[in-house]
Amino acid sequence: MAPLAMFFTLLLATTTILNPRHRPSHNHNNNNHLLSLTLSLLSLITLTLADCECGYLSTTGDLVSHQQPNDNLPSHQPHHALFTDLVESDFTRLVPEGEGDRTISANTDWVRQAFNLSHERARGQHGEMFAVENVDAAGQGEDDKGLKLIVRGGGELVENMVPVAEIDTKRLDMYFGTFRASMKITGERGTCAAFFWYFNDTQEIDMEFLSKDFDKANKSYPVNLVLQSREAALSGYNAAKTSNFVKAYLPFDPTEDFHEYRIDYLPGRVFFYADGMVLGKMDGPAVPSSAGHLILQHWSNGNRLWSGGPPERDAGLVVRYVKAYFNSSREERRRDWEGRCKDPKARGSVCLVPDVLPHNGTAGLLNIYTNSTTLGVDQLVFEEGLNGSYYQYITDPLFTNFQPSHILSR
């Protein structure tokens, strides 16, 4: 890609993404810092170990699946966005509750949910009972490891509620970002598996998989892409009746293996992907304008128009990892970033987020920046301590699948 074209691509993405629309215009010092960073990114394309103290550069848009960015690509190269914060969760390292320290209940980034919805509130034949015991480590074999969210089947109702599962990020300040989850969807009919970003019932970005709609004979595997909005609320939260609903079809069977599902939440637009291929994109006033958090959910309530079910047997959604690269709505996190990003030209100060594509689906698991055993003083990762919030510093990320374009450095 020509240096001038790359400059304008990075300038547009970085200054737009790092400056939310509601921020006051007097933040000119912040803008100057970001502009300086953008200019420095032009010289940062060689391989090195990285501390990522200046952030994570991600491809965005509808050309992501074509190729990884480098300085030799033509001008149709995907746009990029720089994100300052991350939450990375490698759920293959989990052990079941009571069998060690690496349990999901001890995880510092996620919280299992416990609450009930009546059938009226759930808008189904049955209510939903979200229980923490339905979220736990899955499987003992290498192919089955991950986090399992279970919908109880076989007629196991509790006061007319189906036992179901949900887990949420602790961080509630995710304001623009790229959010990715490697998941294997259940083949049991009658559940809804969901990966979504959420602020409230009218600002929500969903990917929902209805197992009753999968048709193996015809190789038909739909996924519902949804922006819950005021329009959806006026339609009784039936997003299918709104202009912000797309039923896309996957080119693979999502029940047979893990695939990466991805949401890019950008100013005024949202992109949805599967293994790097764009499934749909939406823009306009329905796109959220607030900070929110991520949710993994697996449920059923007998609504024949949506989840169907309940399933005849226990049904499991297995999640191998979640990777979130985003900007924070919290001013203290922005100040933290400005304080640690002293030299954007330093080797490894900016890290490239590798895309998972149809031909390299395992790369998403191998390239997890926080899979490191060394603690240092460079990269800030959010933790929630017993006495409040603190920041754990991570350095020298370990990679097992280097590619020349994975790390941006001088």
CATH number at residue 136: 2.60.120.200
**Alpha-helical regions (H) of 140-281:** 230-234
Lowest-pLDDT choice from 27-41, 57-71, 186-200, 319-333: 27-41
Q: Are residues 229 and 321 in the same domain?
A: yes
The boundaries of the domain holding residue 362 are 3-83+330-408
Say if pTM beats, i.e. exceeds, 0.85. Answer: no
Do 51 and 122 lie in one domain? The reply is: no
The secondary element (H helix, E strand) that includes residue 266 is strand 259-266
In this structure, are 25 and 100 located in the same domain?
A: no
Distance, CA of 137 to CA of 251 (rounded, Å): 28
- Mean per-residue pLDDT, 286-290: 94
In the chain, the percentage of residues whose pLDDT exceeds 90 is 57
Question: What are the CA-CA distances from residue 21 to residues 71, 290, 293 (Å)?
Answer: 30, 10, 19
According to the model, what pLDDT value does residue 396 have?
A: 30
pLDDT at 95 (0 to 100): 94
- State whether 79 and 107 are in the same domain: no
| Eight-class DSSP state of 113 | -
Instruction: Provide the pLDDT for residue 406.
Output: 30
Q: Of 327, 346, 363, which residue is a domain's last? A: 327
CB 188 within 8 A of CB 153: yes
Assess whether 101 and 36 both reside in one domain: no
| pLDDT value at residue 65 | 52
User: Pick from 85, 86, 78, 87: which is nearest to 13 by CA?
Assistant: 78
Number of domains in the chain: 2
Mean pLDDT of all residues in the chain?
Answer: 78
Mark which of 327, 361, 394 sits at the end of a domain. 327
Confidence at 380, pLDDT banded by 50, 70, 90: very low
- Final residue of a structural domain among 261, 293, 327: 327
